[in-house]
Amino acid sequence: MPRVRADETPCAGTWPRTGQACRNPARTGRATCAAHDPDGDQRPAPPPDEARCQAANKESGERCRKRHDPGATVCGSHGGAASQVRAAAEVRILHAELHTLAANLVGHPVENPLEELGRVAGRLRAWTELLEDRVQNLLTARDNSGQADGNGEGIRYEARSGEQIRGEVQLYERSIVQFGNLLTAIARLDIDRRLTQIEQDKVDLIARAVDAAIREAGLSGEQVTAAKRSVARHLRSAG
């Protein structure tokens, strides 16, 4: 269909790639549009190449002169507004932000890998429980009449490609698998026993150090008892 209004003059040019007549309106006082202007291309300059839409005009074959949508490779006219393209663009934007943040991170040595692994397991459990609550809310979502939907329809939605499972459910399933794998790894490492042994080794080391200090100080009798009580009191205070 022509793109010109009743008060406009159609462009007299044709597209070399297809041989079809141009459907754009002619510029004021001229017989052709900006793309077919004999005096040169009068259109605004396209954006920089890295910001330019990568799609091509199907009539002229020329690369699109519009700016691509944020996070996408094409403009809205060439599919940038599609839901799946927007979703992929959001992921790319998020990854770019995370890469920027990661570049400025300053790492610190892990002094106790076993304790650190336990903390990671705790955070993963908290994340799994959070997702579980979200999924539970979807399962008990109410319909338009205000009645609870016992069929769990809230965890699904309709898309162009058909019925889809909501992202919260997919994240929850993935988190359960990751948490289970981590617990299996911890069980194989026998971390609880190792941590207990480490703490016992610390206690033994402190006890030997106290005994050595008492001997070097030449304490005896009630002095030894008083010194040990003093050490125990300071340790409890530090703990």
Give strand ranges (E) for the chain. Answer: 156-159, 162-165
Q: What span, in angstroms and rounded, lies between the C-alpha atoms of 1 and 23?
A: 8
Is 39 inside any structural domain?
Answer: yes
CA distances from 26 to 2, 13, 40, 46 (A): 12, 9, 14, 20
Is 238 inside any structural domain?
Answer: no
How many structural domains are present in the chain?
A: 3
- Do 35 and 76 share a structural domain? no
**pLDDT for residue 42:** 56
Is 184 inside any structural domain?
Answer: yes
pLDDT digits (tens, 9 = 90+) for 2-57: 566 777 888 888 877 777 888 888 887 788 887 777 665 556 677 888 889 988 88
Question: Could you tell me which residues are beta bridge partners of residue 21?
Answer: 14
- Do 185 and 132 share a structural domain? yes
pLDDT digits (tens, 9 = 90+) for 155-208: 655 545 445 567 778 888 889 999 999 888 878 777 677 777 778 888 888 888
- Do 129 and 186 share a structural domain? yes
Is 211 inside any structural domain?
Answer: no
Is 104 inside any structural domain?
Answer: no
Task: Report the 10 Å Cβ neighbour count for 100.
Answer: 9
Query: What are the start-end ranges of the H helices in 15-166?
Result: 83-103, 113-139
- Do 186 and 118 share a structural domain? yes
pLDDT at 66 over 50: yes
Helices vs strands, H then E, count in the chain: 5, 2
pLDDT digits (tens, 9 = 90+) for 97-139: 878 877 777 777 878 887 888 899 999 999 999 988 888 887 7
Is 237 inside any structural domain?
Answer: no
- Do 187 and 129 share a structural domain? yes
**pLDDT for residue 145:** 46
Q: What span, in angstroms and rounded, lies between the C-alpha atoms of 115 and 191?
A: 9
- Do 174 and 131 share a structural domain? yes
Domain range enclosing 13: 1-43
Residue type, 238: A
Domain boundary among 176, 191, 206: 191
